[in-house]
């Protein structure tokens, strides 16, 4: 009997965390799913041992929130960020760029950042290139041990992170914290996404 009572409670807690995390991602300047979930659990007064929703659950709630409360602004924001990402990827072609994250997934919140993976022969090559092209950037803490550097800049009023990996990592599948393979796209795929956006949202 106790087990049957516990499951609905856990399910309800996971939903509450996912729903609040989605709002934080959409509205409050948080761009990382894991951070949004932790903040949501704390705001709900839940213990650290609480079973968290997986990323799929949070992303589903985020899509629902954006349809309900940001239906007019979100498509235009996604198109704008995709255009900026495509422009940066075209510039960074010598370093094998891939777009990943919320901008690629079409769930970019109001404060979403553009994440572009690079696979150069050397991270120094990227920095020298940016200096020669007169890009202002700064180093940000890598989110994973596999990244050699994260170079952050402002592009078209958006924050863009150039996440630099060793060249040999290009053919390796990257996984999210919940084990899912992270989607990523080359420039031609990003341009196809842009071409498919309705004119009213561009």
Given a contact cutoff of 8 angstroms between Cβ atoms, the answer to whether 149 and 98 are in contact is: no
- Percent residues over pLDDT 70 in the chain: 93
Torsion over CA of 57, 58, 60 and 64, rounded to 10 degrees?
140
Question: CB burial class (10 A; 0-12, 13-18, 19+) of residue 136?
Answer: exposed
Neighbouring C-beta atoms of residue 9, cutoff 10 Å: 9
DSSP state, residue 148: S
Rounded Cα–Cα distance for residues 30 and 26 (Å): 8
DSSP string, 43-59: HTT--TTSPPPPHHHHH
Q: Residue 143's pLDDT is what?
A: 82
Both structure tokens of 140: 């940000």
Q: What is the pLDDT of residues 137-156, one digit of tens each?
A: 999 999 888 899 999 999 99
Ranges of the chain with pLDDT below 70: 1-9, 177-178, 199-202
Tell me whether strands 158-164 and 149-155 are parallel, antiparallel or unpaired.
antiparallel
Q: Residue 6's pLDDT is what?
A: 45
Look at residue 142 and give its three-state secondary structure.
Answer: coil
Question: CB burial class (10 A; 0-12, 13-18, 19+) of residue 91?
Answer: middle
Q: Where do we find the tokens 């769930």?
A: 107
Q: Residue 201's pLDDT is what?
A: 58
Beta bridge partners of 123: none
Which of 115, 104, 95, 108 has its CA nearest to residue 160? Answer: 115
73-201: CATH topology is Beta Polymerase; domain 2 (3.30.460)
Q: Residue 176's pLDDT is what?
A: 72
Rounded Cα–Cα distance for residues 151 and 200 (Å): 33
Neighbouring C-beta atoms of residue 64, cutoff 10 Å: 13
Which of 87, 82, 83, 88 has its CA nearest to residue 108? Answer: 82
């Amino acid at each position: 009997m106790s087990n049957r009572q516990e499951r609905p409670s856990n399910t309800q807690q996971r939903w509450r965390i996912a729903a609040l995390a989605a709002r934080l991602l959409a509205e409050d300047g948080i761009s990382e799913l894991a951070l949004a979930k932790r903040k949501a659990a704390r705001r709900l007064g839940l213990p650290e041992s609480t079973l968290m929703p997986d990323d799929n659950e949070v992303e589903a709630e985020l899509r629902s929130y954006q349809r309900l409360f940001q239906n007019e602004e979100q498509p235009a924001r996604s198109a704008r960020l995709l255009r900026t990402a495509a422009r940066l990827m075209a510039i960074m072609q010598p370093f094998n760029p891939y777009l990943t994250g919320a901008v690629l997934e079409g769930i970019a919140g109001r404060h979403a950042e553009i994440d572009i993976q690079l696979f150069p022969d050397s991270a120094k090559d990227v920095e020298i290139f940016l200096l020669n092209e007169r890009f202002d950037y700064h180093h940000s803490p890598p989110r994973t041990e596999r990244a050699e550097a994260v170079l952050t800049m402002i592009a078209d009023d958006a924050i863009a992170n150039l996440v630099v990996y060793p060249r040999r990592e290009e053919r390796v599948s990257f996984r999210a914290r919940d084990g899912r393979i992270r989607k990523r796209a080359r420039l031609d795929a990003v341009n196809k996404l842009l071409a498919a956006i309705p004119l009213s949202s561009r």
